[in-house]
Amino acid sequence: MTNARPVVAQASVMPDDSLAVLSQTEVNNLCVARSGPVYDTFRRCALAALTSGIETDNARELLETYADFDVNFEQVDRGLRLHLTNAPANAFVDGQMIRGIRELLFAVLRDIVFIAREVGFKAPPNGLSPAGITNAVFHVLRQANLLHAGPQRGLAVCWGGHSIARPEYDYCKEVGYQLGLRGFEICTGCGPGAMKGPMKGATIAHAKQRLTGARYVGITEPGIIAAEAPNPIVSDLVIMPDIEKRLEAFVRLGHGIIVFPGGVGTVEEILYLLGVLAHPDNAEVPFPLILTGPASSAAYFELLDSFLRRVLGERMASRYQIVVGEPAAVAREMRQAVDAVLRFREAHDDAGYFNWSLRVDERFQQPFAVTHESMAALALGRDLPAHELACNLRRAFSGLVCGNVKEEGMRLIEQHGPFELRGEPALIRALDDLLRSFAAAGRMRLEGRPYTPSYRLVV
């Protein structure tokens, strides 16, 4: 992305859903919020929604390129109008905002300004309990109209990197196509690469099957969306307050997870899910996890599998399967597994649309504040119980994501140097092998962008 960018100097837009009717107090609250941190978050996320389809993984670059972008609120006939200044021109056609981008923009408004005020996410002792956090995640998803009672088509959550090679992207698209032929809806992190491919493939399959009303759900959080704008296929965008609530939303909403090749963000997601599944209370809860990619990515999965076994133990490998080069087989396996999940939930009086029965330990729910001190203090040793080590490793990878693509992480590293991770020598060696491989394969940044490590490993 360069600093020369076309913009629309002035534009106005109104919602056509529930946000179209607001009270004077609600609009006044928006105007008041304009001078505080909530507005700053909204502005950043709104800019990301308006740049849907522009591939970048640098939040700071995006904000600098559109530094003069601004939003004002106006109450009109008990409704709301947004006045945009210097908005990205790619969001408009012949002077009119593209409908899908307008929907993304007002999803940002719904989640950042309203739900963030209505739902408290403070940590105990003065905030929510673990059950309260899960209830709050439920509330956010319900407000986004993503919880539908009755028969479920099956929602396949697809994780993977924003920076992947073309053969990997094509493979993601083919898996999405095979999933769509079998009636699956798709949920991803909403960005480019492995998040876009499955959605794109599924749209073609849904059209062939004459399946209408299928959802393409994107779940993100403020720090990520600013670096990974929603891809154009996302039909239902949800912005959770932080990465931990985002990850819980994936496992509560989805019926199974497919992981494509990726970088540190993808490993963070895998560690989160394996850590949750490793809790003794979840031993009998079915939740399919398939790692897959084209035949050319076989070495990637061998390395990833080796890393997980080296740090978490051989038993953890029983919670996932690896399928390489067989898109139809992945979709068939996921269809059978999700049907079993839905039968299990029905037999245990659990909702088909929200996974209440899964135990998410409090350690996986509380936000991890990434600082040099918190990263260095993480206990990384194989003497810890598997779910506790997975939690700490997940936090370590979250810090790496922050240092790689989030504005606040980049700023911390500029001021104080790379984050340091300390731990048991054998574990640190396994971590070093994985991260060096990712950097060499270009999995840390979008293609063609140089990568400077945001970390230093210490034994």
Q: Which of 86, 87, 82 is nearest to 106 (CA)?
A: 82
Which of 68-77, 111-120, 407-416 has maximum average pLDDT? 407-416
- Per-residue pLDDT, 74: 81
Confidence at 1, pLDDT banded by 50, 70, 90: very low
- Residue 20 within a domain: yes
Answer yes or no: do 371 and 343 share one domain: no
Min mean pLDDT across 61-65, 242-246, 419-423, 438-442 is at 61-65
Structural domains counted in the chain: 3
Answer yes or no: do 308 and 445 share one domain: no
Min mean pLDDT across 5-9, 157-161, 319-323, 435-439 is at 5-9
How large is the greatest C-alpha to C-alpha distance in the chain, in angstroms?
65
Answer yes or no: do 260 and 298 share one domain: yes
Q: Where are the alpha helices (DSSP H) in 240-385?
A: 243-253, 264-277, 298-312, 327-347, 372-376
- Residue 180 within a domain: yes
- Residue 337 within a domain: yes
Answer yes or no: do 49 and 192 share one domain: no
- Residue 128 within a domain: no
- Higher-scoring residue by pLDDT: 305, 44: 305
Answer yes or no: do 180 and 295 share one domain: yes
C-alpha 361/C-alpha 353 separation (Å) is: 21
- Higher-scoring residue by pLDDT: 57, 450: 450
Answer yes or no: do 68 and 39 share one domain: yes
**CATH number (domain holding residue 88):** 3.30.1850.10
- Residue 91 within a domain: yes
β-strand partners of 422: 458
DSSP-based three-state secondary structure for 66: coil
Answer yes or no: do 163 and 272 share one domain: yes
Tell me the residue range of the domain where 305 lies.
150-347
Min mean pLDDT across 120-124, 308-312, 316-320, 453-457 is at 120-124
Confidence at 125, pLDDT banded by 50, 70, 90: very low
**What does the chain come to in residues?**
459
- Residue 359 within a domain: no
Answer yes or no: do 170 and 65 share one domain: no
Min mean pLDDT across 60-64, 138-142, 196-200, 299-303 is at 60-64
Answer yes or no: do 62 and 110 share one domain: yes
Answer yes or no: do 405 and 446 share one domain: yes
The crossing angle, in degrees rounded to 10, of helices 425-440 and 264-277 is 140
- Residue 161 within a domain: yes
282, 312, 347 — which closes off a domain?
347
> Contact at 8 Å (CB) between 198 and 175?
yes
Answer yes or no: do 427 and 326 share one domain: no
Answer yes or no: do 289 and 217 share one domain: yes
Residue 115 contacts by C-beta under 8 Å, 6 or more apart in sequence?
139, 140, 143
- Residue 2 within a domain: no
Min mean pLDDT across 29-43, 44-58, 100-114 is at 29-43
- Average pLDDT of the chain is 88
Mean pLDDT of 172-192: 96
Residue 414 contacts by C-beta under 8 Å, 6 or more apart in sequence?
none
Beta-strand relationship, 70-76 and 79-88: antiparallel
| Omega within 30 of 0 (cis) for the link into 418 | no
**CATH number (domain holding residue 158):** 3.40.50.450
Beta strands in 151-278 (DSSP E): 155-159, 185-188, 216-220, 236-239, 256-259
